Chain A
């Protein structure tokens, strides 16, 4: 797997920290996490539940304010500018595909609405083609679509918004195997055709290995290991990473 290290860095998070207070207990969901993403690069983030993967995405997207650390898009400092502003640079795809669309609206309504004033039906149709859906589905509401179809619609919406960074939060974990494969195929295609950069949060190491160039392994809000996917998976340095990979191997047997 080749990675071109000279490509521009689209997104950079430096020493990102986030602490939640729950009753009298303080939980460090993120402590001093460094992350960067190059154009056309897929970065996997793996770790068990509660390791801070999703918090990392929420903090980067501005949906959660960061406690400490800096976020840059290119050279521009974006720390604390909020999700409305960040949405111009990046889009997010969620685990629960159905709930990422308002149940009352048709797909086409939801997609056009996310275009920041742009209403280009031809572009929507082209994107629908790109993800391999039938444009008949555009007039349907989320309840009338399968999870996989909804997830592909979510990708269409993110692309229609014009962002070149996608934050994917466990986007395949709620789907059946064939829908999973379709989503992975689409992401690969987008990577080749559009040079999309993706931050891919997942607990499925096999999937991350197939899709990503680099990987970060997180545990208790910290990055315990990071690097080229082949290096990390084949020669894990950290004991926790080894344990994760071991259990993934055992599961696939």
Chain B
């Protein structure tokens, strides 16, 4: 059972690795310039020169998908990492120190969680007037909360362990205990949470771009590609299908990986 689970994790991780590899080496793999327009090859069906066909401006959809993946995945990873760090830090402080700082920060978290995440994101991204940075801030505002809550609850239970009392009696400072005993021991559950957040974040970022609140054209990004090509879906469906499929594929792969890792950790 455990071995089978391990094998599935390896397979999912390999799939995620291949996705990341193709996106990182987009510059080498892409057959065409993703931004070069070609008036002679408008809305061409998939062929050898354009594996996923071309869009309304004659741009290679395959190349745009690869470069768009760069934008989407890089932004997603950066945002997840940032929320992870900020949320974990806040959660650990709340859990370890308690008191008024804990009450204040957790009330803020409650308020943020009381709105649906996407609604907050759309409002904030709208106020910030588009751009990938704005979209990331918009999602980040609520994203740290899940990490903070998780880190806080784990810190609270770690705080009760006898080894923390021992460390205090050994004269270690709060900061040193947080760094050497608390943080490393909650890394595993938080890492699992980070994996499952990748899919959600990707949906969020692509969603905002689809609504025109994310990247600014002509930057390639999956959500905005779907949104642009949607207008002529009956003439050139490939321009919609290609970015949609990779979005779904990527989200499925990362969510599956996150679920498997979580299952594996629970089986421990």
B171 touches A84 (CB 8 A): yes
B181 touches A92 (CB 8 A): no
Q: Name the distance in Å between B221's Cβ and chain A's nearest Cβ.
A: 40
Task: Give Cα distance in the complex from A101 to B165, angstroms.
Answer: 10
Task: Give Cα distance in the complex from A84 to B169, angstroms.
Answer: 5
B168 touches A83 (CB 8 A): yes
B169 touches A61 (CB 8 A): yes
Residues of B within 8 A of A (CB-CB), count: 16
Contacts of B181 in A (CB 8 A): 102
Contacts of A101 in B (CB 8 A): 163, 166
Query: Given A84-B171, A113-B170, A116-B170 in contact, is the A102-B163 Cβ separation under 8 Å?
Result: yes
- The verdict on A44 contacting chain B, using a C-beta distance below 8 Å, is no
- What is the chain A residue whose CB lies nearest that of B165? A63
Query: Given A102-B181, A104-B185 in contact, is the A84-B162 Cβ separation under 8 Å?
Result: no
Identify B169's interface contact among A92, A96, A102, A103, CB under 8 A.
Answer: A92
- The verdict on B129 contacting chain A, using a C-beta distance below 8 Å, is no
Q: Name the distance in Å between A165's Cβ and chain B's nearest Cβ.
A: 11
Contacts of A95 in B (CB 8 A): 162
- The verdict on A152 contacting chain B, using a C-beta distance below 8 Å, is no
B163 touches A91 (CB 8 A): no
- The verdict on A87 contacting chain B, using a C-beta distance below 8 Å, is yes
Q: Name the distance in Å between A250's Cβ and chain B's nearest Cβ.
A: 32
Residues of A within 8 A of B (CB-CB), count: 27
- The verdict on A100 contacting chain B, using a C-beta distance below 8 Å, is yes
Query: Given A99-B161, A104-B184, A104-B185 in contact, is the A92-B171 Cβ separation under 8 Å?
Result: no
A100 touches B162 (CB 8 A): yes
Task: Give Cα distance in the complex from A48 to B185, angstroms.
Answer: 34
A84 touches B173 (CB 8 A): yes
- The verdict on A79 contacting chain B, using a C-beta distance below 8 Å, is no
Contacts of B166 in A (CB 8 A): 92, 94, 100-101, 114, 154, 157
Q: Name the distance in Å between B117's Cβ and chain A's nearest Cβ.
A: 33
A100 touches B168 (CB 8 A): no
- The verdict on B172 contacting chain A, using a C-beta distance below 8 Å, is yes
Q: Name the distance in Å between A201's Cβ and chain B's nearest Cβ.
A: 14
Chain B residues 166 to 188 lying within 8 A of chain A, measured CB to CB, are 166-173, 180-181, 184-185
Contacts of A87 in B (CB 8 A): 168-171
Contacts of B165 in A (CB 8 A): 61, 63, 83, 92, 94, 100
- The verdict on A55 contacting chain B, using a C-beta distance below 8 Å, is no
Chain B residues 205 to 233 lying within 8 A of chain A, measured CB to CB, are none
Interface positions of B (Cβ within 8 A of A): 161-163, 165-173, 180-181, 184-185
13 residue pairs from A and B, CB less than 8 Å apart = A83-B169, A87-B170, A90-B169, A92-B165, A94-B162, A94-B165, A100-B166, A101-B166, A102-B167, A113-B180, A114-B166, A114-B169, A161-B170
Interface positions of A (Cβ within 8 A of B): 61, 63, 83-84, 86-88, 90-92, 94-96, 99-104, 110, 113-116, 154, 157, 161
